[in-house]
Structure 1
Amino acid sequence: MAPYYFIAASVSILVGLGTLMVLSASSAYALHNQVDPYYYVTRQLVFVVAGIVFAVIFSRIKPDLLRKLGWPAWALAVVLLILVLSPLGQHSRGNQNWLALGPGVQFQPSEFAKLALVVWCGAVFHLKRGRLHEPAQLAIPLIPLGGLILALVLAGKDLGTGLIIGLILVLVMWFIGTPLRVMIPLGTAAAVLVGLLVYGSGNRMSRISIFLDPQSNTDLSSQPMSALYALASGGWWGLGLGASRQKYGGLKDNAHTDFIFAVIGEELGLFGALLVIGLFALLGWAGLAVAMRSDKMFNKVVASGVTGWFLSQAVINIFVVMHLLPVLGVPLPFISYGGSAMLACLMGTGVLLALARDTPDARAYLASRKKKSRPRMTSVMAATKED
Structure 2
Amino acid sequence: MIAVQRDSMLVLLICLTLVGLGLVMIYSSSSVLANVRFGDSGFFLKRQSIRVFIGLVLMLAFSRMPLHWWARLSRPIVLLALLSLLLVLAWGHGAAQRWLSIPAWGGALAFQPAEFAKLALVLYLADVLVRKRDELHDFSRGFVPRLLVVGFALVLIVLQPDLGTAIALGLIALIMLWVGGMRLYHLAGAGLLALLGIGFSLMHSSYKMRRLISF
TM-score by length of 2: 0.88
Superposition pairs of residues 306-325 of structure 1, within 5 angstroms: none
Distance 1:171 1:52, change over 3 A: same
| Residues 30 and 41 in structure 2, CA contact (< 8 A), matched pair in contact too | yes
Could you tell me which runs of 5 or more consecutive residues in structure 1 were left unpaired when the two chains were aligned.
Answer: 211-325, 327-387
- Name which structure has the greater RCO, CA cutoff 8 Å, separation 6+: 1
Amino acid at match of 1:90: H
3-state SS of the aligned residue for 1:6? helix
Supply the AA of the counterpart residue of 1:44: Q
**1:379 paired residue number:** none
Pairwise CA distance, 1:124: 2.3
- Verify: 1:98 aligned to 2:106, yes or no: no
CA drift of 1:187 comes to 1.4
- Partner amino acid, structure 2, of 1:207: R
- How far is the alpha carbon of 1:52 from its aligned partner? 0.2
The reply to whether residue 54 of structure 1 matches residue 64 of structure 2 is no
**Per the alignment, in what secondary structure is the counterpart of residue 85 of structure 1?**
helix
Residue aligned with 1:96, SS: coil
Is 2:182 aligned against 1:193? no
Change (3 A) 1:119 1:77: same
Residues 215-250 of structure 1 deviation map (CA, whole Å, 9 limit, x = unaligned): xxxxxxxxxxxxxxxxxxxxxxxxxxxxxxxxxxxx
The amino acid that maps onto 2:205 is S
8 A Cα contact 1:135 1:178, kept in partner: no
How far did 1:162 drift?
Answer: 0.7
**TM-aligned CA distance change 1:104 to 1:39, over 3 Å:** farther
Is 2:78–2:121's contact at 8 Å kept on the other side of the alignment? Answer: yes
Structure 1 or 2, whichever has the larger Rg, is 1
Aligned to 1:141: 145
What is the CA–CA distance in structure 2 between the aligned matches of 1:50 and 1:64, rounded to whole Å?
24
Structure 2 distance, partners of 1:132, 1:169, is 14
Question: Could you tell me whether the CA contact under 8 Å between 1:99 and 1:106 is conserved in 2?
Answer: yes
For residue 157 of structure 1, give the secondary structure of its aligned residue in structure 2: coil
Partners of 1:24 and 1:181 in 2: how far apart?
46
Q: Contact 2:136 / 2:183 at 8 angstroms: preserved in 1?
A: no
Distance in 2, Cα, partners of 1:51 & 1:194? 33
Q: Which amino acid aligns with 1:170?
A: L
Structure 2 matches for 1:54-73, cutoff 5 A?
A: 54-73=58-77
CA distance in 2 between counterparts of 1:209 and 1:30 reads 33
Partner of 1:167: 171
- The equivalent of 2:11 in structure 1 is 7
Are residues 155 and 195 of structure 1, via their aligned partners in 2, closer, same or farther at CA, if it must alter by over 3 Å?
same
- 1:23: how far off? 1.1
Quick check: which one's helix share is greater? 2
Asked whether the 8 Å contact 2:143–2:182 carries over to 1, the reply is no
Match of 2:122 among 102, 112, 118: 118
Q: Distance in 2 between matches of 1:29 and 1:83?
A: 34
Match of residue 30, structure 2, among 14, 26, 30: 26
Instruction: Give the drift of 1:123.
Output: 2.3
User: Normalising to structure 1: TM-score of the pair?
Assistant: 0.51
Alpha-carbon distance between aligned partners in 2 of 1:209 and 1:20, rounded to the nearest angstrom: 30
Contact 2:85-2:113 within 8 A present in 1 as well: yes
The alignment yields a C-alpha RMSD, in angstroms, of 1.8
- Hey, what does 1:84 align to over in structure 2? 88
1:96–1:158: 8 Å Cα contact kept in structure 2?
no
Task: Give me the whole-angstrom Cα distance separating, in 1, the residues matched to 2:163 and 2:124.
Answer: 22
